[in-house]
Amino acid sequence: MDQRLKRIQVKALHDRIVSATQAAGWIDTGMAVGLSGFTRAGDAKAVPLALAHRGAEEGFQIDVYTGASLGSGNDGYLAQAGVVRKRVPYQSDRLMRSAINSGAVLFVDHHLSQTAEWIRSGVAGSIDFAIIEALGITKEGLLIPTTSVGNSAVFAHHAKELIIEINTSQPLELQGLHDCYEPEPIGRRRPIPLVSPSDRIGMAGIPIDMSKVKGIVWTDQPDSPSPIEPPGAETDVMAGHLLEFLRGEVRAGRLTETLAPIQSGIGSVANAVLQGLLDSEFHDLELYSEVLQDTVFDLLDSGKAIFASGSAITLSAPYMDRIYNDLGRYSDRLVLRPQEISNHPEIIRRLGLISINTALEFDLYGNVNSTHVAGTNMMNGIGGSGDFGRNAQIAIFVTKSTAKDGRISSVVPFVSHVDHTEHDVDVVVTEYGYADIRNLAPRERAQRIVANCVHPDYRAQLEEYLLRAEALGGHTPHVLDEALSWHAHYKAQGTMLKKSP
């Protein structure tokens, strides 16, 4: 007997095993598919690739819903094959990005906690196929996810048919880490009974309707490693500023040394900031985040952190080797939840999170752009930063003060796209310092941001704008026809610097 069949404890499903190519053949043009996968973790791998191959030959188009970004190059393959009409709610692939920015792919950039509501209510139309990576299926009919939960539960419950990819390369110790809870439909929904990051409120897997399982596909392809860079001098400095801010909160009596549950966004800067906690005086930390990156495991290993809750585990290659060979030792300190729960406003507000996310740029008044280069070109998407930023106890946004070797200032008069409004941003941080802009009027915020965060090369230019704006008056002073001129200047001259520093 094929040893792999032990993974499928519902015997009636054994005759539904098919190849990825066969499964991909069921998907017709015009369909909507829901793929498992959240920031390269636990994504369906074989069938999407087969779909891209088929699409390149046959030419057909589908709508693709996921948890968040896919790994395995699949977003790129699908985009390159021209298979994707609409893409929801997040991506981070070079080729997909380029198809989105050319207008070839319609991208809906959606708060990660909210897509499940659209699937449930039907606002997103109907999902024809859910294609979900699993460790296996228990005899009780629970699909056990792998390294992410993402939107898999809502896809499985609301899709017309299911294709399951059983991935034999994923560590079996993942079983038991998942906590699958789905809110009741609107109209009879109860409070989500989670009051601490370590609470378990759901099931160990996703209950599925066996009659909807159309096919099961084997795969042994590992998750794509995260391209995260190790912390460097600059990110260390930013982490230092952030720690300084947190120490101030402790001195003011608003936090203790165990802080509050921490959310940290995806990427190198956020990862480095967590690294800063390793050697700090803070202790018994808890994480309530969406993606658990490398440093989370360092925090757990060192005993600095006592628990981590997320929707996905996304590691760099060296950490994959280290963590997945000994995952069992984290089993009582780790939980993976649907992204609707990891990112739920109800829970984020209740737990009083400290939320740390990366900005592309922010402006004098604290508006943050997380998504659009020069206001027009999509980078990745808002992801969970809005879910967390809006509802956190403290919403922190971090960015290097400049980009493109200093030719772009990340602190501008007026952001070219707003993802987080002035009402939602508490603290901004660059390598020059932090500005705590809570309970400040716009004019006060501008003073503090100019003084603490802007790169010295741009300080005079920003001060000069602010002075002229203030002379015109208004609650939020602007020279409106110059507000976006830094971006236009960059486009025309290749730098935002209006004269040499």
In this chain, which of 6, 139, 423, 499 binds its own copies, going by CB under 8 A?
Answer: 423
**290 given a catalytic annotation:** yes
Using DSSP, state whether 17 is helix, strand or coil.
Answer: strand
Task: Decide whether 301 or 470 has the Cβ nearer to its own copies.
Answer: 470
Task: Decide whether 80 or 416 has the Cβ nearer to its own copies.
Answer: 416
Cα–Cα nearest to 367, from 423, 438, 410, 451: 423
What's 404's DSSP letter? G
61 binds its own copies (CB under 8 A): no
- By CB under 8 A, how many residues form the interface with its own copies? 83
- Which two structure tokens, joined as six digits, stand for 460? 């005079």
The C-alpha atoms of residue 294 and residue 120 are separated, in whole angstroms, by 33
Binding segment for its own copies among 128-136, 264-272, 320-328, 476-484 (CB under 8 A)? 476-484
In this chain, which of 253, 405, 456, 500 binds its own copies, going by CB under 8 A?
Answer: 253
For the CA atoms of 330, 334, 335, 339, the dihedral, rounded to the nearest 10 degrees, stands at -120
Interaction pattern, residues 427-466, with its own copies; x per rule: CB under 8 A: -----------xxxx-xx----------------------
The C-alpha atoms of residue 459 and residue 456 are separated, in whole angstroms, by 5
The angle that helices 294-302 and 317-324 make with each other, rounded to 10 degrees, is 40
Interaction pattern, residues 18-57, with its own copies; x per rule: CB under 8 A: ----------------------------------------
In this chain, which of 474, 493, 494, 501 binds its own copies, going by CB under 8 A?
Answer: 474
Evaluate the CA torsion angle 184, 185, 188, 192 in order and state its sign: positive
- Which two structure tokens, joined as six digits, stand for 404? 């493109």
Binding segment for its own copies among 129-137, 154-162, 192-200, 329-337 (CB under 8 A)? 192-200
The residue count for the chain: 501
Task: Decide whether 1 or 252 has the Cβ nearer to its own copies.
Answer: 252
Task: Decide whether 58 or 284 has the Cβ nearer to its own copies.
Answer: 284
Q: In angstroms, how far is CA 59 from the centroid of its own chain?
A: 31
CB of 135 to its own copies, least distance (A): 31
The C-alpha atoms of residue 211 and residue 218 are separated, in whole angstroms, by 19
What's 168's DSSP letter? T
Cα–Cα nearest to 395, from 414, 375, 422: 422
477 binds its own copies (CB under 8 A): yes
Q: Which of residues 346-365 bind its own copies (CB under 8 A)?
A: 346, 349-352
Q: Which of residues 108-127 bind its own copies (CB under 8 A)?
A: 108-111, 117-118, 121-125
- Which two structure tokens, joined as six digits, stand for 253? 């009596």
CB of 105 to its own copies, least distance (A): 8
Q: Which of residues 362-401 bind its own copies (CB under 8 A)?
A: 367, 372, 374-378, 382, 386, 390-391, 393
E strand segments, 19-59: 32-35
200 binds its own copies (CB under 8 A): no
**Active site positions, annotated:** 290
